[in-house]
């Protein structure tokens, strides 16, 4: 939100008066004087006028969860356990999921209260690589890897997926790297080449890799380096 709007929404100043107050050097963002009325200030930064608090900074949360199969990637559900059931109760109401996994899938899941950051993580046009370990019902063919590299036509969306890589580990197992994260994308890609995914486990999103010390259902806060890697 623009700095002038924060002042006019949460203080005695009109939009015009707020601009003048900012120009006079009476406004600080995170303790530093700011004279830019158009500065976009997130809710995770503090704003003061003459040292009086106008906006108190919320605490940003960035969590890595090792999602077990059988849990829904949802904030609530009447019939099934959700990944939020694995998080301490005081955090559940403020978190959303950055890049869902379906109920049968497992692995890296990101939960945060920072919507701008999570959009950068999941927006297809940003092209952040996402790596999945997949087992299939039928043998994986060399033709499948070639089709993935060319892109797969999705009739429902009317588009061809971005080129993806398929690195075969065994006859029925592979690492798949995609750059979009569309609805059930990996499973639909294998279906398009005449195969079926039995298990799907996400290992990484960009430079954020699932911590191997986390047992299924466990989570930890992302490091500062991991958070900044998506900036």
Residue 11: pLDDT over 80: no
Residue pLDDT, tens place only, 158-180: 999 999 999 999 999 999 999 99
The distance from CA 123 to its chain's CA centroid, rounded to whole angstroms, is 9
Residue 213: pLDDT over 90: yes
Residue 231: pLDDT over 80: no
**Once rounded to an integer, what is the mean pLDDT over residues 109-138?**
93
**Once rounded to an integer, what is the mean pLDDT over residues 134-145?**
96
Domain with CATH 3.30.70.580 in the chain: 59-123+213-231
CATH number 3.30.470.20 given to 59-123+213-231? no
Domain with CATH 3.30.70.1560 in the chain: 129-205
Q: What is the pLDDT of residue 199?
A: 98
Residue 148: pLDDT over 90: yes
State the pTM of this model. Answer: 0.85
Domain with CATH 3.10.290.10 in the chain: 3-55
User: Known catalytic residues?
Assistant: 102
Architecture of the domain spanning 129-205: 2-Layer Sandwich (3.30)
Which CATH code is given to the segment(s) 3-55? 3.10.290.10
């Amino acid at each position: 939100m623009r700095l002038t709007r924060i002042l006019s929404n949460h203080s005695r100043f009109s939009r015009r008066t707020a601009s003048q107050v900012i120009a006079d050097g009476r406004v600080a963002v995170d303790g530093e004087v700011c004279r830019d009325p158009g500065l976009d200030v997130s809710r995770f930064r503090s704003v003061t006028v003459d040292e009086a608090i106008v906006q108190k900074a919320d605490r940003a949360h960035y969590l890595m969860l090792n999602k077990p199969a059988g849990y829904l990637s949802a904030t609530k559900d009447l019939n099934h356990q959700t990944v939020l059931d694995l998080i301490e109760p005081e955090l559940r109401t403020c978190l959303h999921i950055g890049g869902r996994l379906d109920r049968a899938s497992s692995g890296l899941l990101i939960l945060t209260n920072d919507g701008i950051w999570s959009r950068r993580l999941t927006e297809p046009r940003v092209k952040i690589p996402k790596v999945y370990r997949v087992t299939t019902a039928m043998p994986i063919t060399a033709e499948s890897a070639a089709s993935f590299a060319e892109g797969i036509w999705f009739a429902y969306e009317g588009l061809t997926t971005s080129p993806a890589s398929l690195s075969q580990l065994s006859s029925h197992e592979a690492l798949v790297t995609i750059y979009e994260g569309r609805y059930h994308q990996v499973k639909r890609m294998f279906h398009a080449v005449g195969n079926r995914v039995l298990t799907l486990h996400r290992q990484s999103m960009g430079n954020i890799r699932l911590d191997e010390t986390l047992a299924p259902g466990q989570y930890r806060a992302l490091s500062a380096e991991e958070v900044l890697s998506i900036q």
